[in-house]
Structure 1
Amino acid sequence: MIAYFLLVHRFPEQFKRMFQAIYAPGNIYLIHIDRNSGKALAQELEAFLAPYQGVEILPARRVLWGGYSLVEAELRGMRRLLEMDAGWTHFINLSGQDFPLKSQGYIRDYLSAHPNTQFMRCADQLAIRPDTMNRVSHLFIEVFRRIFRTRIARAFPRGATPFIGTQWKVVSRRFCEFACHDPLTARFKRFYKRSFIADEGFFQTLLMNGFPQGDVVDDDLRTIDWVPDGDIKLRPRTFTRRDATRLTLSPDLFARKFDMNEDREIFDLLEHHLASSAASNFNPLGDRCVVERGMTIARTSSGMGDSVSAG
């Protein structure tokens, strides 16, 4: 069983198509609707979701891009999903602008083949992304819905290594239990509350500085094209029907991002693809997730990690 956590802040019709594409009886689904999006969106989605079993809406709170509120929303989501059902084995987070590339049967079989593996983009922040260390090197504060960096420098938690990646992940139930309830995580929660873009580093740092079980694959199982975008160094390019062949041939489970206002046809093409054998039949002999999809991150005995190529 899979537990989905869905973050939605706009495009209700697009969300509905995505939800119908990932819905399967037996899974559970928790939806977070950004309170900044207004009551109309929340009411429309509540009415749409009402007939579905195993679905719940998380009480709304405002989310600020770059702030710790994104991490807190996900921790709230993990805690609630753990309470909702004791049977699920994997947690997947998606935005309302994502779309599956594989059927739910395929995804369940894939995750069953990797029961103790955490799929998350994960890199040593100082060694690989030193340009982002300013996110954690100083104290940040939120004032009037804006985030400001102070002049107060601070050291990273003693004995730990900062890691960085993306917000997106496929992780085990045990990792969610660890992130939500283990006392070892408390110091990282305190630290990242005063950082910038915590959602791209907090969970990676937890994973590589204390979580004891399973393997880590440096991959979020998403097809994403990162392109330059002004002051924001990279943003995900919007996929259109011109990308259909690439997406249907992708080994990934999901893709992002999509915009129905820009191109509706890509949704028709992907929905047709999901009914095909290529999207439905997982072949363990063809599974190349570790060798060709990324790197396995090995831990030292201290719990601090190094990235080593699996191939």
Structure 2
Amino acid sequence: MTISQDFYMFERLFRAIYMPQNVYCIHVDKAATSEFKRAVQELLSCFTNTFISSQSKHIILGSISRLQADLACMRDLIALDVPWRYVINMGGHDFPLKTNREIVQYLKMLGGKNITPHLEFVLKSTERIKYTYREYRNRTHAFVLQKRRKKSPPPNQLKIHFGSKYVALTRKFVYFALFNEVAIELLQWSQDTYSPDEHFWITLNNIPAAPGSMDKEISTISLRAVKWIYQEDIHKGCHGHYWQDVCVYGPGDLKWLYASSSLFANKLELKTYPLTVECLELWIRERSLNQSEIPVESDWYLLPK
């Protein structure tokens, strides 16, 4: 998980996805406040299967830093003496739409394949790799700007594909992405592209030699339920508000979220629409307890406030 602010939203998300048999790596933005970092550390200290990433990156929208944060956690996870099978990356404003049991069953059905979803509107974003991009920082902002210099062709004659930054990857594929020479050269070439996390995973997953490489049917799977402003003819509008073309869900979006086949939803804000988060939290907890194979105690249910 990559987080930078809004501790109480993170706390709700962590409670919703936590299971003792899983392992959780949390990357905290280097630019986060000391208060936020301390609160996250105190929460995670209560659990033996959670840890903060050994590397901390300053996350800048559109830069290589978001991908580097995921890779940092994956290096830490590979080094653990834990036989995990899949890694799923998340942001601090996600929320589960499926129980842990349902997610495990879902991943088992993939037969060892990775999920690196296509995104139609990203497919047309060739400008991201046509020119170089550079990070800039001042006292209050950090941002990425396009430069006039054209990029060199991708290494190893790779065809660059575009898709979602949110993926589900097998352990073998993660090892391939971290240590294979082709993957290392692609990562180096991607340093000065725009949002490389939206082409790195899916490009590697289209290499036939990559473990669990691309399956045409699986490539259409959506891990995240997202209401893009470009797709209002499909989802019939956002009942919260749009932030960077993505809907921040209001209570009026709950019915749509409940019916979604995706594993997670993005984007939620506890401070802005607390009812949306609380309703989803109650809903997913009740479903989890209904699937329990042991007797359920009454105080395991979350009581509405």
TM-score, L = length of structure 2: 0.81
**Do 2:117 and 2:223's aligned partners in 1 also have CA atoms closer than 8 Å?**
no
1:93 correspondence with 2:95: no
Name the residue aligned to 2:41: 46
Greater helix fraction, Structure 1 or Structure 2: 2
CA separation of 1:124/1:89 partners in 2, compared to 1, >3 Å: closer, same or farther?
Answer: same
The partner residue of 1:16 within 6, 11, 16 is 11
Residue 80 of structure 2 corresponds to residue 78 of structure 1: no
What is the match of residue 201 of structure 1? 199
1:147 CA displacement: 2.6
CA distance in 1, matches of 2:76, 2:288: 34
1:94 Cα offset (Å): 0.8
**Aligned partner of 1:187: which letter?**
E
**C-alpha distance in 2, partners of 1:170/1:258?**
21
Structure 1 residues 158 and 233, CA gap change in structure 2 (3 angstroms) = farther
C-alpha deviation, 1:233, in angstroms: 11
Aligned AA for 1:67?
A: S
Equivalent residue, structure 1, for 2:178: 180
CA distance in 2, matches of 1:171, 1:8: 20
Counterparts of 1:291-306 in structure 2, within 5 Å, are none
CA–CA distance in structure 2, aligned partners of residues 235 and 52 of structure 1 = 36
Q: TM-score, normalised by structure 1?
A: 0.80
For 1:83, the aligned partner's letter is A
Matched residue SS, 1:35? coil
Contiguous gaps of at least 5 residues in structure 1: 1-5, 282-311
The structure where strand makes up a greater share of residues is 1
- Matched ranges for 1:57-68 at <5 A: 57-58=52-53, 59-68=55-64
Aligned-pair Cα RMSD in Å: 2.5
8 Å contact from structure 2 (residues 178, 184) kept in 1 = no
For 1:249 and 1:209, how far apart are their aligned partners in 2?
Answer: 34
Q: Distance in 2 between matches of 1:280 and 1:76?
A: 36
Q: Does 1:169 align with 2:167?
A: yes
How far off is 1:129 after superposition?
3.0
Question: Are residues 1:135 and 2:128 paired?
Answer: yes
Pairwise CA distance, 1:87: 0.7
Q: CA deviation at 1:254?
A: 0.7
Residue 110 in structure 1 maps to residue 110 in structure 2:
no
Quick one: percent identity of the two aligned structures? 23
Write the letter of the residue equivalent to 1:81.
Answer: L
Aligned length: 271
